[in-house]
Chains A and B, each alone.
Chain A
Amino acid sequence: MRRRIAAGIALFAMITVACTAGGGSSDVSAIDTSSGATHAPVTLNLWSFYNGREFQDYAAVLADFHKLYPWITVKHTPGKSDADIVRAINSGSPPDMTISQGPDNVAKFCSTGAMQDLAPFLQGDGTDISKVIPAQALRYTSYNGDQCTLPVLSDAYGLYYNNPMFQKAHITSPPKTLTELEADAKKLTQFNPDGSIKVAGFMPLHAFYENPNFYLGNFSGSKWYDSNGKSAFASDPTWAAMLEWQKAMIADVYGPDGDHLLQEFFAQLGGANSEWGPAQGFDIGKVAMTCDGEWRTAFIKQYAPKLDYSTAPMPVLDSIASTYGRGQIGGDIVGIPRGAANSAAAWLLVKYLATDTGAELKLAYTLGNVPTTFEAIKTTKQASDPHFKPFLDIFSNPISDFKQLTPIGDADQSMWSNFVDNYEAGKVSDLQAGLLDLASQIDKQSALG
């Protein structure tokens, strides 16, 4: 009986292991794309996170690709998350190519081989990718030297400021350091007779619109992990400096009850959801300065075309003032999953979307994002838009970055966000001890595999 049970368990374990992490082969042999070559028809399965208008916008670029490679038809499936992609890879029947929203899982994709290393494809084509795509974009699409994905368009975060309010407050140039940001915010903030906020000079709350990007460490020059791969929240003093600045700024500009006033003000604006509609705080003149992505320029054109505003890089922590101009970046990533049925044809589409200037620009114009190749950045007509130009510069800054990638994905970011929210709510009495605990938690989560 015991033997039977043991045999049953062994068989079950074998079946379980056999049913997990399905393998697959990759075909890196180059396709002859010369005009005289003949090809069997191929249907490429492309999964992307896109939905709605953005999904439709992609159709035009995919039609151009089909004209270029008439034997390849692209079947584009919208609304696919990274979890969907992982499940498909696990099941052994992945799509031929994927587009993910952001680089959060690049380290996991690369380190597990879930996305194929693109180096053999690049070598086969004789492409030196470092001459096509800036290093800062290659950083967030690779892990430990494994370039398993490539960037297609990026976001860049900068400062939006209201020109008439600046003039009224006699501010002649945008702030470059956090001390200047605080001083300008104080001049720009207005209160109602009942003490509530009428106009916020700058909303420092972590949860406000795109502010999580402001606190991701780029503007304070902070490191996420030390050289041993351990969380650096406690060992890198700039994390604490950023939060201490925030606390002092709220007290200085909004008074001792500032956090509550800001929460009320944010709720009056319509809360977080107001970001995507006509009542966005900056667009309606209720917030004088705000941290936002390059896409806000398109929203302002749509919802507040008469708004007089300018854009600039975000101010940085005073101790790294010399690096002003840097910024938080990061965008969509394309890759070829392990086990894809048509890897060679998929590579043609990956290469087209990530390196073709025409495709990059077409997507950048329709989606309103920053193109990610040297050539596209140089030739884009977005450069002639004074509102958009600073975002091209921020992206081109060599120390602009996403964040250090690890196989933990965005769990560390999520835990950091929780910590900042708790800190703002006054639930962290000892900042350094709290950061130490946070670092320990992240290290333990990393160990979960």
Chain B
Amino acid sequence: MATARVTVPAARRALRRRRSRRHYAGVLAFLSPWVLGFFMFIIYPMLASLYYSFTHYDMLSQPQWVGLSNYRFMFTSDPLFWTSLRNTVWIIAIGVPVQIVFAIAVAWVLTLPQRGRGFYRTIYFVPAMVPTVAATLAFVFLLGKGGPLDTVLGFVHISSPLWFQDPAWSKPGLVLLSLWGVGETMIIFLAALLDVPTHLYEAADIEGASAWQKFRLITLPMISPVIFFAAVIGVIYGFQYFTEAYVAAGAAGGTRDIASNLGYPLNSTLFYGIYLYQQGFAYFHLGYASAMAWILFLIIMACTLVLVRSSKHWVFYQGGFK
């Protein structure tokens, strides 16, 4: 009898365990494509690059363990590492705020027309659909000497800068390019602006608020979650900035081998991603490039955390979500 009292719950437990195992096996079976892909294409490459970052590795011979040598070289002996970091911080510090302000301004303008809204919205969004390489090549031509902008300025006797040939103007040129393709961010801001409850503006009107006060005290707080989103995405994208700089430097530098123009002119477009690529796939310093990649990962994570932490002071969520 005593045995029976013990056996029944044990049998139930075993049954539950079997069902539970079957359940998890089923879940795992459905998840397995993602799990395999995650480990093969995310976790393994990350861990491999972490291992390589402590080695000298040229892809053609076995990696040689060098400890922290790559990191020491990066911080103490490689001036181009700092140049690339400075350029990247510049494009983020200048480019991201300018893009956000411009996107808000365009989105606001697009809320105004009573007729032809769809047409205008399409027109302003179209540049975002142009492939980055084509858009960059077009900008190098548009801003170049003898190009349309230079010709128009020539009519009023203004000499245009050398843009992508002048280190002082190459980064502003890239910011201009990013403004042209700001359509995706603009569309999100447009949706946010249209989502601001009109009764808030009506109440403000009754109180006699000026346009600036309405914008500062109603519009900005109401669209602050979208500003936060745009800022986080902009910073992450900014640290990985690559294609536009690669193509613009290659096109403006003009040699047959585009990779030989990385950073042109005078390393003013040598962004972190460009320099990492150059070390990894032009010089085949895969160990050093891996170390750079991990430092980039840590920088992006730190910046994102700072933004997320700071958001509770300036981002307003309707309904009180934080």
Q: Which of B61-83 contact A (CB under 8 A)?
A: 61-64, 70, 73, 77-79
Whether the Cβ atoms of A270 and B145 lie closer than 8 Å is yes
Q: Which of A89-105 contact B (CB under 8 A)?
A: 89-90, 101-102, 105
Whether the Cβ atoms of B252 and A272 lie closer than 8 Å is yes
15 A-B residue contacts at CB 8 Å? A20-B57, A20-B59, A89-B59, A112-B58, A112-B60, A113-B61, A207-B265, A263-B162, A266-B165, A271-B252, A414-B260, A441-B78, A448-B73, A448-B287, A449-B57
CA distance A16 to B63 in the complex (A): 10
Q: How near does chain B come to A434, taking the closest CB pair, in angstroms?
A: 12
Q: How near does chain B come to A448, taking the closest CB pair, in angstroms?
A: 5
Cβ of B266 < 8 Å from any Cβ of A? yes
Q: What total of chain B residues lie within 8 Å of the partner, measured CB to CB?
A: 48
Closest B residue, CB atoms, query A275? B254
Cβ of A108 < 8 Å from any Cβ of B? yes
Whether the Cβ atoms of A268 and B57 lie closer than 8 Å is no
Closest A residue, CB atoms, query B263? A418
Cβ of A37 < 8 Å from any Cβ of B? no
Q: Which of A267-294 contact B (CB under 8 A)?
A: 267-268, 270-276
Whether the Cβ atoms of A441 and B79 lie closer than 8 Å is yes
Whether the Cβ atoms of B145 and A267 lie closer than 8 Å is yes
Whether the Cβ atoms of A16 and B146 lie closer than 8 Å is no
Q: How near does chain B come to A403, taking the closest CB pair, in angstroms?
A: 14
Stretch from B104-112, B210-218, B230-238, B276-284 contacting the other chain: B276-284
Q: Which of B243-281 contact A (CB under 8 A)?
A: 251-257, 259-260, 262-267, 278, 281
Closest B residue, CB atoms, query A417? B260
CA distance A267 to B282 in the complex (A): 28
Q: Which of A80-135 contact B (CB under 8 A)?
A: 81, 83, 86-87, 89-90, 101-102, 105, 108-109, 112-114
> Which of A21, A81, A414 makes the CB contact (< 8 A) with B60?
A21
Whether the Cβ atoms of A448 and B254 lie closer than 8 Å is no
Whether the Cβ atoms of A449 and B285 lie closer than 8 Å is yes
* Set of chain A residues within 8 Å of B167, measured between Cβ atoms: 425
* Set of chain B residues within 8 Å of A87, measured between Cβ atoms: 59
Tell me whether A13 and B51 are in contact in the complex, defined as CB-CB below 8 angstroms, given that A272-B254, A449-B64 are known contacts.
yes
* Set of chain A residues within 8 Å of B62, measured between Cβ atoms: 17, 20-21
Cβ of B239 < 8 Å from any Cβ of A? no
Whether the Cβ atoms of A86 and B59 lie closer than 8 Å is yes
Whether the Cβ atoms of A89 and B165 lie closer than 8 Å is no
Whether the Cβ atoms of A83 and B282 lie closer than 8 Å is yes
Whether the Cβ atoms of A90 and B60 lie closer than 8 Å is yes
Cβ of B4 < 8 Å from any Cβ of A? no
Interface residues of A (CB under 8 A from B): 12-13, 16-17, 19-21, 81, 83, 86-87, 89-90, 101-102, 105, 108-109, 112-114, 207, 209, 212, 263-264, 266-268, 270-276, 407-411, 414, 418, 421-422, 425, 427, 441, 444-445, 447-449
CA distance A445 to B287 in the complex (A): 12
Whether the Cβ atoms of A448 and B165 lie closer than 8 Å is no
Closest B residue, CB atoms, query A424? B266
CA distance A313 to B298 in the complex (A): 53
Closest A residue, CB atoms, query B270? A418
* Set of chain A residues within 8 Å of B63, measured between Cβ atoms: 16-17, 20
CA distance A427 to B260 in the complex (A): 21
Closest B residue, CB atoms, query A101? B257
Cβ of B134 < 8 Å from any Cβ of A? no
Cβ of B48 < 8 Å from any Cβ of A? yes
Q: Can you list the 7 inter-chain pairs with the closest CB atoms, starting with the nearest?
A: A272-B254, A449-B56, A112-B60, A267-B145, A83-B281, A114-B60, A411-B283
> Which of B162, B257, B287 makes the CB contact (< 8 A) with A267?
B162
Cβ of B6 < 8 Å from any Cβ of A? no
Whether the Cβ atoms of B165 and A108 lie closer than 8 Å is no
> Which of B262, B266, B288 makes the CB contact (< 8 A) with A422?
B266
Whether the Cβ atoms of B145 and A271 lie closer than 8 Å is yes
Tell me whether A421 and B254 are in contact in the complex, defined as CB-CB below 8 angstroms, given that A83-B282, A449-B287 are known contacts.
no
Closest A residue, CB atoms, query B161? A267
Whether the Cβ atoms of B144 and A271 lie closer than 8 Å is yes
Tell me whether A273 and B61 are in contact in the complex, defined as CB-CB below 8 angstroms, given that A410-B260, A448-B73, A449-B285 are known contacts.
no
Extra contacts, 16 of them, besides A21-B60, A271-B252 (Cβ < 8 A), are: A20-B63, A21-B61, A89-B59, A112-B58, A263-B165, A271-B144, A272-B252, A272-B255, A275-B254, A276-B256, A408-B283, A414-B278, A422-B266, A425-B266, A427-B266, A445-B285
Q: How near does chain A come to B262, taking the closest CB pair, in angstroms?
A: 8
Cβ of B47 < 8 Å from any Cβ of A? yes
CA distance A207 to B257 in the complex (A): 14
CA distance A87 to B58 in the complex (A): 10
CA distance A113 to B60 in the complex (A): 8
Q: How near does chain A come to B201, taking the closest CB pair, in angstroms?
A: 50
Whether the Cβ atoms of A16 and B51 lie closer than 8 Å is yes
Q: Which of B297-312 contact A (CB under 8 A)?
A: none
Q: How near does chain B come to A331, taking the closest CB pair, in angstroms?
A: 13
Q: How near does chain B come to A7, taking the closest CB pair, in angstroms?
A: 15
* Set of chain B residues within 8 Å of A83, measured between Cβ atoms: 281-282, 284
Tell me whether A12 and B51 are in contact in the complex, defined as CB-CB below 8 angstroms, given that A263-B162, A421-B266 are known contacts.
yes
Q: How near does chain B come to A75, taking the closest CB pair, in angstroms?
A: 24
Whether the Cβ atoms of B165 and A409 lie closer than 8 Å is no
Tell me whether A86 and B284 are in contact in the complex, defined as CB-CB below 8 angstroms, given that A20-B59, A20-B63, A272-B255 are known contacts.
yes
Tell me whether A448 and B285 are in contact in the complex, defined as CB-CB below 8 angstroms, given that A272-B252, A272-B253 are known contacts.
yes
Closest B residue, CB atoms, query A12? B47
* Set of chain B residues within 8 Å of A113, measured between Cβ atoms: 60-61
Q: How near does chain A come to B148, taking the closest CB pair, in angstroms?
A: 14
Whether the Cβ atoms of B145 and A108 lie closer than 8 Å is no
Whether the Cβ atoms of A270 and B162 lie closer than 8 Å is no
* Set of chain B residues within 8 Å of A212, measured between Cβ atoms: 255
* Set of chain B residues within 8 Å of A12, measured between Cβ atoms: 47, 51
Whether the Cβ atoms of A108 and B267 lie closer than 8 Å is no
CA distance A271 to B170 in the complex (A): 14
**Which of A20, A113, A447 has the most chain B CB atoms closer than 10 A to its own CB?**
A20
Whether the Cβ atoms of A86 and B260 lie closer than 8 Å is no
CA distance A109 to B63 in the complex (A): 16
**Which of B58, B60, B63, B254 has the most chain A CB atoms closer than 10 A to its own CB?**
B60
